[in-house]
Chains A and B, each alone.
Chain A
Amino acid sequence: MDSKFAVEKMLEAILGNNVSLDEKNQVMKAINREITEKPFRVAVIGQSGVGKSTTLNAVFGLKNYTSNVAEGTTDIEEKVFEMRDGFSLSIYDMPGIGYDIDKDAEYEKMYAKILPECDVIVYIINAHSKDIGEDCRILRDVVLPVCNTNNIRENLILAFNKIDTIGEMQNPNDPELRWNTVENLPTEKLKSAIKIKLEDLTDKLIDERLVGGEDSIKPHQVVFYSAIYNYNLSAFLKAITVAGNRGWIWTGTVGFEQIGKWSDKKL
């Protein structure tokens, strides 16, 4: 079995016969070292119930991953997963920091210690949340300042999960507002409900200067998806690819292999 990563195969083909064998080997060795010398580090932040486990399963292919980090803990362990051929993924599973403003300083210390080590920082929010005010406050007052101080704002992805449940939350008795599991698409009525909700959410992000402000993130760093239905994961993968200086490593190695790996439709 060819053990090369996708980016290595691409690079080898691009170089072709245009360079000497020695030069080609030098380049391939350099890229392989870039890929394997340290794990690809991902911090995942979110309150209980936002779908951290399902997201890590759907996007990063971590089968049977369970997020059981205690709410409010600041003692975070790095979990390393060997992918293949010397490449590994490491996850910092971090709870949402709760709604106690007095604890902000404590959590800021935790984020300041861990986030600068990470290649990608995923902050997950429930898309069907009635009020994202507290998440906006935490992002604005704690997470973004840490990212800006350490020049890692481009590593941040704001991930709105569970867009499939937006309709049910509005009216659980309306079958037209439920996800079409046969086609794996929103129904037309659900699509309209999702559109309105996403417009509200994006307006809120812009009003709060989390997007469209100085030192804020860009629209492409915000993704709307459903982890459980593997819906719109391509946007998530694109956001990872462009994250910071090393996001490309995930997609260029195992990103395409891992995404949606354990989805029901593939069984």
Chain B
Amino acid sequence: MEMTIEQRRDYDKLTKEQKEYFAFFERQKPNWTFSQVMAKVQFNIIMDDPKGPLGDCGDVDPHDPAIWLTILGGVKVALSKFKSISDSITNAINGAISSLKQMISLGIRKVGNAIEKILDSIF
């Protein structure tokens, strides 16, 4: 399938297995666009998640780094409305955001070190 530069970038982020899914769905649905096939791959990822709708969902995890990354992103946007926010505040929040991003990229569901201690004290 022909791809734009941006689409190629998104495609390259897929794992080997996800690329195999992409190829499978591309064959199964020859009329679908790149975006439609990618959406199917993303749904597949959701279905394959052992904690997803076909797995053992368990209780909601208040230590989930992805959730806290979003919350801190929202805090940062909310605070950006106020001109008097200092660099030290911004740096502290950015530091926490970096830690959370690192945890997500390493695939560790529970955050480690300082952030984990904070969440343990909250929940």
Stretch at the interface among A7-15, A85-93, A140-148: A7-15
Q: Please tell me if A185 contacts chain B, counting CB pairs below 8 Å.
A: yes
Stretch at the interface among B7-15, B16-24, B46-54: B46-54
Complex contact A23–B88 (CB within 8 A): yes
Contact with A along B66-86 (1 / 0, CB 8 A): 111011111101110010111
Q: Report A224 CB to chain B, min CB distance, Å.
A: 4
Complex contact A232–B122 (CB within 8 A): no
Interface of B is mostly: helix
> Within the assembled complex, what's the spacing in Å between the Cα atoms of A247 and B69?
13
> Within the assembled complex, what's the spacing in Å between the Cα atoms of A251 and B67?
8
Q: Please tell me if A262 contacts chain B, counting CB pairs below 8 Å.
A: no
Q: Report B74 CB to chain A, min CB distance, Å.
A: 3
Choose one: A13, A31, A219, A231; the contact of B79 (CB below 8 Å). Answer: A31
Interface of A is mostly: helix
Complex contact B40–A10 (CB within 8 A): no
> Within the assembled complex, what's the spacing in Å between the Cα atoms of A27 and B118?
18
Complex contact B36–A206 (CB within 8 A): yes
Choose one: B32, B35, B79, B88; the contact of A18 (CB below 8 Å). Answer: B88
Range for the number of chain A residues in contact with chain B: 35 or more
Choose one: A219, A225, A241, A259; the contact of B43 (CB below 8 Å). Answer: A219
Whether A10 touches B74, Cβ cut-off 8 Å, given contacts A23-B89, A237-B60, is no
Whether A15 touches B89, Cβ cut-off 8 Å, given contacts A194-B54, A247-B74, is yes
Choose one: B33, B61, B123; the contact of A234 (CB below 8 Å). Answer: B61
> Within the assembled complex, what's the spacing in Å between the Cα atoms of A7 and B71?
7
**Chain B residues within 8 Å of A185, by CB:** 56
Q: Please tell me if A16 contacts chain B, counting CB pairs below 8 Å.
A: yes
Complex contact A14–B74 (CB within 8 A): no
> Within the assembled complex, what's the spacing in Å between the Cα atoms of A231 and B95?
34
Q: Report B82 CB to chain A, min CB distance, Å.
A: 5
Whether A248 touches B36, Cβ cut-off 8 Å, given contacts A191-B54, A256-B60, is no
> Within the assembled complex, what's the spacing in Å between the Cα atoms of A233 and B53?
9
Complex contact B74–A249 (CB within 8 A): yes
Smallest Cβ-Cβ distance to B35: which chain A residue = A212
**Chain A residues within 8 Å of B38, by CB:** 212
> Within the assembled complex, what's the spacing in Å between the Cα atoms of A234 and B67?
10
Whether A241 touches B67, Cβ cut-off 8 Å, given contacts A206-B32, A248-B75, is yes
A-B contacts besides A31-B79, A220-B42, 10 pairs, CB < 8 Å = A14-B93, A14-B96, A27-B89, A203-B40, A206-B36, A212-B40, A214-B35, A235-B46, A241-B70, A248-B75
By a beta-carbon cutoff of 8 Å, the part of chain B in contact with chain A is: 32-33, 35-40, 42-43, 46-47, 51-54, 56-62, 64, 66-68, 70-75, 77-79, 82, 84-86, 88-89, 91-93, 95-96, 118-119, 121-123
By a beta-carbon cutoff of 8 Å, the part of chain A in contact with chain B is: 6-7, 9-11, 13-16, 18-19, 23, 26-27, 30-31, 34, 163, 185-186, 191, 194-195, 198-199, 202-203, 206, 209, 211-214, 218-220, 222, 224-225, 231-235, 237-238, 241-242, 245-249, 251-252, 256, 259-260
Q: List 5 A-B contacts (CB under 8 A).
A: A26-B84, A203-B40, A213-B35, A218-B39, A246-B74
Which 9 A-B residue pairings sit nearest by Cβ, starting from the closest?
A: A212-B39, A248-B74, A212-B36, A219-B42, A224-B53, A13-B118, A252-B71, A202-B43, A248-B71
